[in-house]
Every structure is written in structure tokens, then in C-alpha cells.
Structure 1
């Protein structure tokens, strides 16, 4: 079973799918076991209600306009949330995005 669950959310969940692959490769290289998945912003409420729910949520830069509303929901659920750095997103830098998630989790 994965140590932590990292959820990425964007408009449709498709543009973050490649980033998920890059993050999984970085996690494997770092020797950590995370479940990392992408979903649409419309699916955030559903995912937050799941058991187990994500341990951290990263929003794609294209849905940053939703950050305040999503933050209220993640705060209520006790889940840290942030927006993926636009440069790391554009370059599909899985290692940097993974490190950002770990920082939110308090890992490493």
C-alpha cells in the first residue's frame, strides 16, 4: 500500500496525466511509494470524500482561479493544497512537483 496519496487536479485531468508519470518515475528513483493520480477539477469534491482520501492536492496552474474555493474544502478535510508552479508544470518537471508535494506533506 502506498505511503501517501497525491492528487493533481486540472481542467479535465488529462494535461496532468503526463506529469503524474514523471512524478511516479521521480518517486521510484527516490525510493518512495506514493499513489499519484490526476483528476478533473469537477471531481475534487468526490475525491475528498473517498476513504482513503488524498493526503495532498496540487492544482494545475490553469485552474488557479479555483484555489480559494478548493482551499476552503481542503482545509475542512485537513488536506494541504497548493498550486503547481507554472514553470515546473510547463516543463513537466516531475521531480520538482514531487518535492513540492512532499514539502506540503512534511516529508523529507
Structure 2
């Protein structure tokens, strides 16, 4: 499988950083090549040309439409991470969510 490039965004990138770490472990366990980074939402637009999917923390759901419009020229889907995945820092389910939205 090709390398999946995911970007997770929340306010300062702290909780999304933990979630990204767990998703990287889940990908490695499954034998999936993945680059999973966490950044603040204000940095997201500069990464559209180098990611396959943008995942927003649930508290940034109101940014989804705006981010999706900016990501459109790059064909990058912008998905809000469900609260249960985010709150439980469930890397496996996050990876499933990303893969489901990339196929």
C-alpha cells in the first residue's frame, strides 16, 4: 500500500499529537505505511499540498466547511474526528476513519 499522509489538527496540537502517535502505532501494527502528523489548525492550509487527508478535532467542527473549501484544489478531504475516537485517543479507529474516507 502507498504511504498515507494524514494531518490531525486541534488548537495547539497537543491532544492530536497523542492521537497521531497512537495512529502511527496502529498503522505500523497493520503494516500500513503512514505519515501521521499533528499541527494547530492555523497551520493546516500550508500542508494541503503534502497530505492526503485532514482530520479536525471535534471542537473544530465549525472550521470544517472553511477548511474543506481551502483544501478543495488539492483534493484533500476534511473530516471531523468523532468525539468518541478523539476522547479515547483511539488510534485504530482513527486509522479506520481515514482509510474509509480515502477510498
TM-score bracket, normalised by the shorter chain, equals: over 0.9
Partners of 2:26 and 2:5 in 1: CA distance: 15
Paired residue secondary structure (2:38): strand
Paired residue secondary structure (1:32): coil
- Which residue of the partner structure matches residue 97 of structure 1? 94
Ranges of 4+ aligned residues in structure 1 off by more than 3 Å:
none
1:69 lines up with 2:69 in the alignment: no
- Which residue of the partner structure matches residue 41 of structure 1? 41
How much does 1:97 deviate? 0.6
Q: Specify which structure has the higher proportion of helix.
A: 2
CA contact (8 A) 1:81 1:104 kept: no
Structure 1 unpaired stretches of 5+: none
What's the TM-score once normalised by structure 1's chain length?
A: 0.89
CA RMSD of superposed structures (Å): 1.1
What's the TM-score once normalised by structure 2's chain length?
A: 0.93
Aligned residue pairs, count: 102
How much does 1:76 deviate? 2.4
- Which residue of the partner structure matches residue 20 of structure 1? 20
- Which residue of the partner structure matches residue 6 of structure 1? 6
Partners of 1:92 and 1:14 in 2: CA distance: 12
